[in-house]
Amino acid sequence: MQNYDVLVIGGGPAGLAAAIAAHKNGAKTLLVEREARLGGILKQCIHDGFGLVRFQEKLSGPEYAERFIDEFHKLNLEAKTLTFVTRLEKNASGFSAVLVNRDGVETVTAKALILATGCRERTAKQVNIHGTRPAGVFTAGTAQHFTNLLGELPTKKCVILGSGDIGLIMARRLTLEGAKVLGVYEAKSTPSGLTRNIHQCLHDYDIPLYLSHTVTRVFGADRLTAVEIAEVDDKMQPISGTEQILECDALILSVGLIPENELAETLDVQLDPKTKGPVCNAQLMTSVSGIFSCGNALHVNDLVDYVSESGEIAGENAAKYVKAERKEIPVKAGSRLLYAVPQKLDLNSDNQKTVLYFRSRDILNGCTFKITVDGKTVFSKKYPFLRPPEMEKLQIDFSQYQLSENSEIQLDIEVKSDE
């Protein structure tokens, strides 16, 4: 049986950064990846725009991933690809993991685990689409896999439901490859994706965006032949009489991403219903001592730069992880915040460079983000606007606020109209 200090599960951008950071901090590290190649979803994200924050360069997904993969190999780090983790167990000395691959079944042990399992796309079944079950209903990620990895165009004429970033990227991608995208339909009254993607993916290619519209039914026996579109009211319920039928051979769904935490749940890691990822402290350690979380498994990020950053935080802290008792206090997010990560601070850790991520619940203009400790404002920052699709990031030195076990940390957003 092989013994490691740190076992990283997932070889995408979060796992790669975590493994590199754990190794650099002296931990004997193993990375496990179920696919044949490292890089995770970035392998199929061939569009550019990655790495602007980290490298000040506009890289494509493969270019960004391969910078980390090159470093990973240069450091002689160990990865097992085409390998699944089928079981995780916690025991007195740490964790054991059952791995299955082409060599058979083996068990490895590790003192700390880093869960870098990414996220999954919401499917048609999760957004209540009625009708037959023909081929041609794909998630945007599946359509991207067909187009960018297999070289097969999955549609000639399609409708995209949901204005998430992958849906917008795929609208452009399919158009470039000669397919007709009839439109992007979004049930909400505001787009879900980044504003720049609405412009460079839809407007540039004259692809219409219909807000407050949804797909209510699909038609077709073997292959999709048409979809029914309807306008929705402010409760997102279809308005009868507004239905129209659109002929198409594919329906592409970009209706949200959910952090993947099946393995975490088997170890009773506490999840946050808002992020759908583990509740973590600023070291990105979960409610279970020795288990760390990072990347899209922790919360869905819009920029890979932040995924890598959280991987590094988790990797460094997993390597530094000692059995010292934790003393955690909550970081409370006010009602104007959709959520904030981390949800807790460990007073026994160094909180000098705490990285705070948050999203506003609604589109807000002229606002101030405030941190109060025991009712006293210790930090504030003005934002001309905050939008839920665009995650904000701050680095805060919490060590200067003389935090004690009874301290109350509160995050709030104030808007001008409050005054």
Partner 1 sequence: MNELVCIVCPKGCTMHIEQENGAYKVSGNTCKRGAQFAISEMTEPKRTICTTVRTVFSQAPVLPVRVSAEIPKDKIFDVMREINSIIVKNPVRRGDVLLKDVLNLGADIIATSDLLRQVEK
**CA-based nearest residue to 358, from 376, 379, 332:** 332
Among 35, 106, 374, 390, binds partner 1 (CB under 8 A): 390
CA angle 48, 51, 52 (to 5 degrees): 90
- For residues 62 to 101, the per-residue mask of contacts with partner 1, x marking binding by CB under 8 A and - elsewhere, is xx--x-----------------------------------
- The residues in 2-21 that bind partner 1, with binding defined as CB under 8 A, are none
Smaller CB separation from partner 1, 106 or 392: 392
Considering only residues 168 through 187, tell me which ones interact with partner 1, judged by CB under 8 A. Answer: 173, 176-177
* DSSP one-letter code for 237: P
Q: Is 268 in the site for partner 1 (CB under 8 A)?
A: no
- The reply on whether position 204 binds partner 1 by CB under 8 A is yes
Which residues, 6 or more positions from 83, have their beta carbon under 8 angstroms from its beta carbon? 32, 33, 34, 99, 100, 101
DSSP state of 57: S
By C-alpha distance, which of 170, 173, 175 is closest to 139? Answer: 170
Q: Which of 35, 71, 272, 302 binds partner 1 (CB under 8 A)?
A: 302
Beta-strand (E) ranges in 118-171? 119-121, 130-131, 137-139, 157-161
Q: Site for partner 1 (CB under 8 A): which residue of 48, 71, 78, 106?
A: 48
The smaller minimum CB distance to partner 1, of residues 302 and 374, is found at 302
Q: Rounded to an integer, what distance in angstroms lies between the CA atom of residue 143 and that of residue 139?
A: 6
Distance CA 127, CA 337 (A): 25
Cβ at position 55, least distance to partner 1 in Å: 13
| Interface with partner 1 (CB under 8 A), residue from 37, 87, 223, 353 | 37
308 near partner 1 (CB under 8 A)? no
Task: Using the minimum distance from each CB to partner 1, give the nearer residue, 148 or 163.
Answer: 148
Q: Which residues contact 409 (CB under 8 A, 6 or more apart)?
A: 329, 330, 331, 332, 345, 371, 372, 373, 398, 403
CB closer to partner 1, 229 vs 391: 391
Contact (CB, 8 A) for 74 and 51: no
Cis peptide before 259 (omega within 30 of 0): no
Name the residue nearer to partner 1 (CB basis): 43 or 344: 43
Tokens of 152: 């097969």
* 194 binds partner 1 per the rule CB under 8 A: yes
Select from 52, 302, 46, 62 the least CA-distant residue to 174. Answer: 46
Residue among 125, 194, 137, 118 at smallest CA distance from 163 = 194
Q: Using CB under 8 A, which of the segments 115-123, 134-142, 149-157, 216-224 binds partner 1? A: 149-157
- Which positions from 350 through 379 interact with partner 1, judged by CB under 8 A? none
List 52, 127, 288, 373, residue binding partner 1 (CB under 8 A): 52
Q: CB of residue 63 vs partner 1: minimum separation in angstroms?
A: 5
Provide the terminal-to-terminal Cα distance of the chain, rounded to the nearest Å: 64
Instruction: Compute the chain's Rg from CA coordinates.
Output: 22
CB of 384 to partner 1, least distance (A): 9
Among 133, 156, 180, 199, binds partner 1 (CB under 8 A): 199
Contact map string, positions 96 to 125, toward partner 1, x by CB under 8 A: ------------------------------
Which of 23, 47, 213, 336 contacts partner 1 by CB under 8 A? Answer: 47
Q: Whose Cβ is closer to partner 1: residue 165's or residue 312's?
A: 165
List, in order, residues 6 or more apart from 180 with CB less than 8 Å away: 156, 157, 158
Q: How far is the CB of 128 from partner 1 (least distance, A)?
A: 31
Does residue 35 belong to the site contacting partner 1 (CB under 8 A)? no
What is the binding site for partner 1 (CB under 8 A)? 37, 43, 46-49, 52, 58-63, 66, 147-151, 173, 176-177, 194-196, 198-200, 204, 302-303, 390
